[in-house]
Amino acid sequence: MSEHGTVVSIHTAPAAAAPMASINTARITPGVGIAGDRYALRTGTYSNAPGEGREVTLVEAEALDALKREYDVELAAGESRRNIVTRGIALNHLVGREFTVGEVTLRGVRLCEPCGHLERLTRQGVHKGLVHRGGLRTVVVSGGAIRVGDPIVVP
């Protein structure tokens, strides 16, 4: 049985700490990531740090909802600093698995735990409220386009 979710929004930033912009369609390239995003451009805060999984990052809309409900910390989708906001799929379960988002195949590499940098760019309480639900880091297996509203399918 397959698992399914939906792309709620897509966000990119041209450089480290730059505000995230919402886009409707993202072009994704293996080994690079999202065209125009800071990590594809190698201008992200952690671009020179070792480790894979910065090509495309995802976060659950449900995690952002829980942050507000449980910690009274409101964080807009783009403020999460994750590229794709999803709904209806448990991202933590996708570590080590391949799945499709629109035309693109991604492989979950590791959780995208919140860090002090994220909290400095947003507000106090974000770090604590997003521990173990801060999102998923992925690598691109096959590229293409991802659009708002696209299905997320785990075979």
- Residue 138 within a domain: yes
Picking from 13, 75, 23, the residue whose alpha carbon sits closest to that of residue 47 is: 13
- Residue 19 within a domain: yes
The total domain count for the chain is 1
How far apart CA 4 and CA 77 sit, in angstroms, is 20
Q: Do residues 108 and 90 make contact, with C-beta atoms less than 8 angstroms apart?
A: no
| 94-114 pLDDT per residue, tens | 999 999 999 999 999 999 877
- Residue 45 within a domain: no
How far apart CA 34 and CA 38 sit, in angstroms, is 9
- Residue 129 within a domain: yes
Q: Can you give the residue range of the structural domain that contains 83?
A: 1-25+50-94+114-144
Residues of the chain falling short of pLDDT 50: 1
- Residue 36 within a domain: no
* Structural tokens at position 77: 């989708």
pLDDT for the residue 124: 78
